[in-house]
Amino acid sequence: MIEGAPRHNQMTTILGFDDYSNGKENKKRQSLIRVWKRLSSLQRSVICFVLLLGGISALYIVNSVRQGRTGRWTQDGPRELADFLDSKERQKMEQEKREYIQKMKEKHAQQQVMEIVKKNKENTKRKKGPPSGNRGAKLGQGADMDQIPDEKERQLNLPPKSAGDDLVVDQASDGTYDYFDPQRQYSEKQKAIQDAFKFAWKGYKQHAWGHDEYHPISKSHSEWFGVGLTIVDSIDTAIIMGLKDEYLEAREWVDKSLTFDKNKDVNLFEITIRALGGLLSAYHLTKDEVFKTKARDLGNRLLPCFKSPSKVPFSDVNLRTGNAHPPRWGPDSSTSEVTTIQLEFRDLSRVTKDTRYEHAIDVVSEHVHSLPKTDGLVPIFINANTGSFRNSATITFGARGDSYYEYLLKQWIQTGKKKDYLKKDYMAAVGGIKAHLLRESEPNKLLYIGELLGGRSFSPKMDHLVCFMPGTLALGYQNGLPQDHMEIAIKLTRTCYEMYNKMPTKLSPEIVYFNQAPGSSDDLIVKPLDAHNLLRPETVESLFYMYRFTRDKKYREWGWQIFLAFMKYTKIDGAGFSSINNVKSPSNPGYKDKLESFFLAETLKYLFLLFSDDPKLIPLDKFVFNSEAHPLPIYTE
């Protein structure tokens, strides 16, 4: 504004009448101002409104001409949202935007897989040539793959091998790795994970030593089977982490104090995956006979379970009397329980040269194979007397169903890929997932595996337990199964991570429901009774596999975020770690006063391995992890 010029009201300024240049122009403007002043306020408002409307229309036209069609999406990507669209049009546009982002994500996932395949192919080619060392033939799938020309490899859809697992090694089971080598190097993150293990171990040792379960708030303990379960479940974690003091304490307790001569009913599945698996794995990693002797004793005490009319094992057995029976709460065994003992019993037979254990579990696997299924999917209950599935039972990859599928694949791998029916059943089950259980949530299209209630009706519910499945699918792909298994694995891993990331504590609830309704604002629904976190391992287990096979750093970042959340919300000063009641309440997560043994056996072990750069540490062409993260050897002979 020119200095000394009269001030005008705001409206004259808006209308652009504040230019006081001399002459004709000036006179014309002054007469316009006089006219404007003579108008009533209603007339002035109408004029203002008309001018405003005209301005907006002009903007719209200019924008349309520039973009072709306002706010639409093109092959090349999104354009800016036009603010003045009506709500219907905006909804449509947002839907298009979601579809576009999803398409891009899928494209990205596809590219990622292709890159992995390419990279691994290059690695395979580079490593071809005669193996070094007298017993240095490539073991596992490696030996076969090197014979197969590329074209045939493509036709057969054989797996690429990740650099870390394509090793020239001396023997099938470990024995050569010096876990307690003082020269072993650890990253800062691995040291933090070791510290978490040592911290929990110290609390357990102080307040619950020799007992099954530790309660870190009350600093007390309780028994489940009365076999020092936390110790036997954790020995191999101490070994893998190179923690010699903790290992020696555990070994001494096993040697001097562990006895299975207990007048106690135990659950066949739980004691097998935790105690039998733990002892066998400790044996393989150390070759210390004490673990083998204890494992054999336990195996003998569990064998009476298989004396059922159908040979499908009873769920429980008394360790001293050998009295086996169905669960106290119902007539049926859980399907996952009778099919998740095979890796351990087979390994026990191979280690002891006593075929009884392997024979017992082979009969079960073959029987379950012969039963009718829904596209490879099984109901979660089976009767040990009749040997039949309960037809109306739910189908799920969560509780009571999960590890049936896991052990189909892992048994096939454990036995050198020779038991074809296991692979077929696994492939059929993945087909069943695709046909019946795989859906995407709204609004972010998170892929998830739902359930069939009563074997029929779809429910968008997913247990955290299901998060083992991305890792298993990736393992299958790595062992030659189709590429779309890996594509599903990549998407499911993200979903499982989001189950942590979307919670205020950054810890996953036990169960989530996925939103189906278009226009929903949150993908996840968590019911109050499902909001607890038991320190479960499944997501970090999958992150471990995904990182091993892809070397994509985001899996490490996600794992680290989860570890930090455990440290923040579940660590109890001076005592250990506790499960919590509510992952949605950072200010009051509420302690359950329980340290599950699988936190030490699995969660911390998989986290530690996720951050390992040592390709010889539990290579996945030599070991297969049981359902409780105990590595057992792959038998190729």
Q: Which is nearer to ligand DMJ, 169 or 364 (CB)?
A: 364
Judge contact between 408 and 426, C-beta under 8 A. yes
CB nearer to ligand DMJ: give 169 or 499: 499
Binding status of residue 628 toward ligand DMJ by CB under 6 A: yes
Counted residue by residue, the chain has a size of 637
The 601-620 site mask, x for binding ligand DMJ (CB under 6 A), equals -x------------------
* DSSP code per residue over 390-456: -TTS-B-SSTTTHHHHHHHHHHHHHTTT--HHHHHHHHHHHHHIIIIIEEE-TTT--EEE-EEETTT
Query: Closest distance between ligand DMJ and the C-beta of residue 489, in Å?
Result: 18
536 binds ligand DMJ (CB under 6 A): yes
Give, as ranges, the residues between 254 and 273 that touch ligand DMJ (CB under 6 A): 273
Residue positions annotated with a catalytic role: 270, 402, 510, 538
Query: Nearest-CB residue to ligand DMJ?
Result: 627
CA distance 469 to 454: 22
CB of 328 vs ligand DMJ, minimal distance in Å: 20
Of the candidates 619, 609, 617, 615, the one whose C-alpha atom is nearest the C-alpha of residue 542 is 609
| Rounded-to-integer distance, Cα 301 and Cα 637, Å | 28
Q: Which residue has the tokens 């020269």?
A: 183
Phi then psi for 233, rounded to 5 degrees? -75, -25
- DSSP bridge partners of 216: none
* Residues 595 and 587 sit within 8 Å (Cβ to Cβ): no
CA atoms within 13 A on the CB side of 172: 15
Task: Extract the tokens encoding 544.
Answer: 């471990």
Question: DSSP E strands: which ranges in 529-588?
Answer: 571-572, 576-577
The residue among 265 and 541 lying less far from ligand DMJ, judged by its C-beta, is 541
Q: Cβ of residue 195: shortest distance to ligand DMJ, in angstroms? A: 22
Binding mask 460-479 for ligand DMJ (x = CB under 6 A): -----x--------------
Of the pair 452, 465, the CB lying nearest ligand DMJ is at: 465
Is residue 537 within the footprint of ligand DMJ (CB under 6 A)?
Answer: yes
User: Which residue is associated with the tokens 């995904």?
Assistant: 546
How big, in percent rounded to 5, are the helix, strand and coil portions of the chain? 50, 10, 40
For ligand DMJ, the closer CB: 160 or 509: 509
Closest CB to ligand DMJ among 389 and 625? 625
CB of 539 to ligand DMJ, least distance (A): 10
| Residue whose CB is less far from ligand DMJ, 160 or 313 | 313
**The binder of ligand DMJ chosen from 396, 570, 612, 627 (CB under 6 A):** 627
CB of 336 to ligand DMJ, least distance (A): 7
CB of 629 to ligand DMJ, least distance (A): 7
> Is the separation of the CB atoms in 526 and 512 below 8 Å?
yes
Using CB under 6 A, which of 345, 405, 598, 623 touches ligand DMJ?
Answer: 598
Tell whether residue 236 is a contact of ligand DMJ (CB under 6 A): no
Pairing of strands 524-525, 511-514: antiparallel
| Cβ 407 vs Cβ 338: under 8 Å | no
Binding mask 387-426 for ligand DMJ (x = CB under 6 A): ----------------x-----------------------
Q: How far is the CB of 67 from ligand DMJ (least distance, A)?
A: 52
Cis peptide before 443 (omega within 30 of 0): yes
In the chain the first and final C-alpha atoms are separated, in Å, by: 94
Count of residues touching ligand DMJ (by CB under 6 A): 9
Tell me which residue of 324, 418, 427 sits closest to 362, measured CA to CA: 418
Q: In the structure encoding, which two tokens stand for residue 600, read together?
A: 């030490």
> How far apart are CB 628 and ligand DMJ at their closest, in Å?
5
Under the binding rule (CB under 6 A), the answer on residue 444 touching ligand DMJ is no
Contact track, ligand DMJ, 551-590, x by CB under 6 A:
----------------------------------------
508 binds ligand DMJ per the rule CB under 6 A: no
- Can you read off the two tokens belonging to residue 51? 């001018």
Distance in angstroms (rounded) separating the CA atoms of residues 51 and 63: 19
Q: How far is the CB of 152 from ligand DMJ (least distance, A)?
A: 37
d(CA 343, CA 339): 9
Which C-beta is closer to ligand DMJ: that of 358 or that of 628? 628
Q: Is 509 in the site for ligand DMJ (CB under 6 A)?
A: no
Q: CB-wise, 199 or 397, nearer to ligand DMJ? A: 397
Which residue spans within 184-329 are E strands per DSSP? Answer: 213-215, 220-222, 265-267, 316-318, 324-325
Residues between 8 and 67 with contacts to ligand DMJ, criterion CB under 6 A: none
Which chain residues interact with ligand DMJ by CB under 6 A? Answer: 273, 403, 465, 536-537, 598, 602, 627-628
